[in-house]
Chains A and B, each alone.
Chain A
Amino acid sequence: KNEVEQSPQNLTAQEGEFITINCSYSVGISALHWLQQHPGGGIVSLFMLSSGKKKHGRLIATINIQEKHSSLHITASHPRDSAVYICAVSKETSGSRLTFGEGTQLTVNP
């Protein structure tokens, strides 16, 4: 079993919908990262969090340390949000090294 599991693997939404992507992990962590991989392949860091909630524009990331679970929410989704969203964790003993989930392919249709 992977140490980082994401769901769903694929998600199709209509423009304007509220989207939730989930990430569960089975190891002790220092931080959890959400990344976005564009259709062209480039990867950018969206959020890094160790507790609570962070918001950037229409994106919101939450984490529940006790339940070992994080969610990424997208409000008022837009076709430009179509991408692969990747959850990754820094394990407690691994410094900056990341362990990645398989990613969630999001498609937002106009």
Chain B
Amino acid sequence: NAGVTQTPKFQVLKTGQSMTLQCAQDMNHNSMYWYRQDPGMGLRLIYYSASEGTTDKGEVPNGYNVSRLNKREFSLRLESAAPSQTSVYFCASSNRDRSDQPQHFGDGTRLSIL
């Protein structure tokens, strides 16, 4: 019962370095999401993919890119990391892009940018 798997769990980067966060789900879900969680703020949507082959910006997309590699995998890339991108990143998936679908979350990636 893997559900949503994120790698890595922890990472420290220097300003300007690039990095890709990986996410895979084994529930045959159509929709996938990337969020960031910062102290004192709710989770915020970075990008989402309503279905395989589509991606759209969320609330805070600047500084990030995504790739929906196939139905299972949705990666998040930081091209030139900045200290403001220090955060905990969560990937999630849902069966469909509908409001009545619960989202299933990965365990998170804790990313620090020095």
> A8 CB to closest chain B CB, in angstroms?
15
Q: Find out whether the CB atom of A96 lies under 8 angstroms from the CB atom of B42.
A: no
Q: Report the stretch among A10-18, A54-62, A75-83, A99-107 that lies at the interface.
A: A99-107
Chain B contact patch, size range: 20 to 34
What's the nearest-Cβ distance from chain B to residue A37, in Å? 9
B 69-114 contacts with A by CB, 8 A? 88, 90, 92, 94, 96-105, 107-108, 110
Name the A residues within 8 Å of B43 (CB-CB).
86, 88, 98, 100
Instruction: Given A42-B105, A42-B108, answer yes or no on A97-B58 (Cβ-Cβ < 8 Å).
Output: yes
Residue of B nearest to A87 (CB): B42
- Complexed CA–CA distance, A97 and B103 (Å): 9
B105 touches A96 (CB 8 A): no
Give the docked Cα–Cα distance between A33 and B100 (Å).
9
Q: For A102, give its contact among B41, B50, B102, B103 (CB under 8 Å).
A: B41
Interface contact B104-A30, CB-CB below 8 Å: no
- Cβ contacts under 8 Å, A99 to chain B: 42
A24 contacts the other chain (CB 8 A): no
**Using an 8 Å CB-CB cutoff, how does the interface string of B24-57 with A read, 1 for contact, 0 for none?**
0000000101000000111111001010000000
5 residue pairs A–B, Cβ–Cβ below 8 Å: A29-B99, A31-B100, A48-B100, A96-B96, A100-B42
Known interface pairs A86-B42, A98-B43; 18 further A-B residue pairs with C-beta atoms within 8 A, sorted by A's residue number: A2-B42, A29-B99, A31-B100, A33-B102, A41-B88, A41-B107, A42-B105, A43-B90, A43-B105, A45-B104, A95-B50, A95-B97, A96-B31, A96-B97, A96-B99, A97-B33, A97-B45, A102-B42
Interface residues of A (CB under 8 A from B): 2, 4, 29-31, 33, 35, 40-45, 48, 50, 86, 88, 90, 94-103
Point out residues on B near A: beta carbons under 8 Å.
Answer: 31, 33, 40-45, 48, 50, 58, 88, 90, 92, 94, 96-105, 107-108, 110
